[in-house]
Amino acid sequence: MGCRGMEESMKIIFDSNSENEAFARTVIAAYITRLDPTLEELADVKTAVSEAVTNCIIHGYSGTEGDIEMQCDIQDHDVWIEIVDHGVGIPDIAKAMEPLYTTKPEWERSGMGFAFMEAFMDELEVFSEPGKGTRVKLKKHIGKKAA
Amino acid sequence: MKYQEREQEGIHYEIQRNCLIIYVNQDLDHHAVTYLRERSDRLIEAGNIRHVIFDFRDADFMDSSGIGLIMGRYKKVMFRGGKAAVTNVREGVNRIFQMSGLYQIIEKYPTPAEAVFGVNQKREGQTVHGLSRNGGKHEDHI
């Protein structure tokens, strides 16, 4: 196991189909198994990934077809996950991250997606530009404190 | 009165007294929500439904899409003086409910049977009967 984690990285690209929300959760769960996560840590990461992928489908592509990339890396006991779409982008990131704020109330979105990502992960960064898509970066420490 | 129906991907609906019970039976994410919402609303409109109960005995996972679904159904029955309840909630799903603050507006019971009894017990005087929307359609307890 390399300490830089280079050879542990993984990247998948999948369609913006809602069935792929479960697929992305399954993939990330399998990927972090090597860190021997607790059930709670596993649930945390799956929830965050599910929120990010759902955002790509609902907001990024608004129900239309597009590619979603999920890129992961493990360094010591940290897992890094980047979820990327090439959709409409977010005009006001700070506003989008406010709990309960949603641009799609008619779709019954709760406005809690980013709040859950923030709560369940150690770090969350969002990069976005209108017309250029959105990149969400998540990080979480798994298992015992790394030496 | 008992009504049962099976839906794709294992979601199962049942009507007991004035309650619609939705056995979630799978991950409650955006994908599941898209067809669950339409189906449950049709049953709510068609039946003599006052309360909605979501059972999670066979569901391990829920994200914010599930919160939106439950809040949406709650808003639907609220205007008829109805309530929303959840049952057989396992730890993973329970954390999501706690974090979202949903327990402030919905009730939790161990089983669907207890929920059917429970939501029909306390009336708490929170009658919203004045707001009969659909042409003054009247709902009575069975």
- Considering CB atoms only, which of A58, A115, A116 is closest to B30? A58
Q: Taking CB atoms and an 8 Å cutoff, what residues of chain B touch A110?
A: 64-65, 67-68, 71, 100
- Considering CB atoms only, which of A22, A40, A110 is closest to B64? A110
Q: What's the confidence (pLDDT) of residue A145?
A: 54
Q: What is the pLDDT of residues A32-66, one digit of tens each?
A: 999 999 999 999 999 999 999 999 999 999 989 99
Instruction: Please check whether residue B18 is in contact with residue B48, taking contact to mean a CB–CB distance below 8 angstroms.
Output: yes
- A109/B65 touch (CB, cutoff 8 Å), yes or no: yes
Q: What's the confidence (pLDDT) of residue B124?
A: 52
Phi, psi of A44 (to 5 degrees): -60, -50
Q: Taking CB atoms and an 8 Å cutoff, what residues of chain B touch A40?
A: 95
Instruction: Please check whether residue B142 is in contact with residue B48, taking contact to mean a CB–CB distance below 8 angstroms.
Output: yes
Mean pLDDT, rounded, for B26-52: 92
How close does chain A come to B38, measured CA to CA in Å?
11
Domain boundaries, chain A: 6-141
DSSP code of residue A18: T
Task: Please give the tally of structural domains in chain B.
Answer: 1
DSSP code of residue A106: G
Q: How far apart are CA B136 and CA B131, in angstroms?
A: 8
What's the CATH code of the domain at B22?
3.30.750.24
Domain that holds residue B50: 2-131
Q: Taking CB atoms and an 8 Å cutoff, what residues of chain A touch B74?
A: none
Entry pTM = 0.86
Domain assignment present for residue B142? The answer is no
> Does residue A105 register a pLDDT over 70?
yes
Residue-wise DSSP of B88-124: S--HHHHHHHHHHTGGGTSEEESSHHHHHHHHHH--T
Domain assignment present for residue B30? The answer is yes
Nearest CA in chain A to B63: A47
The hierarchical CATH code for the domain A6-141 is: 3.30.565.10
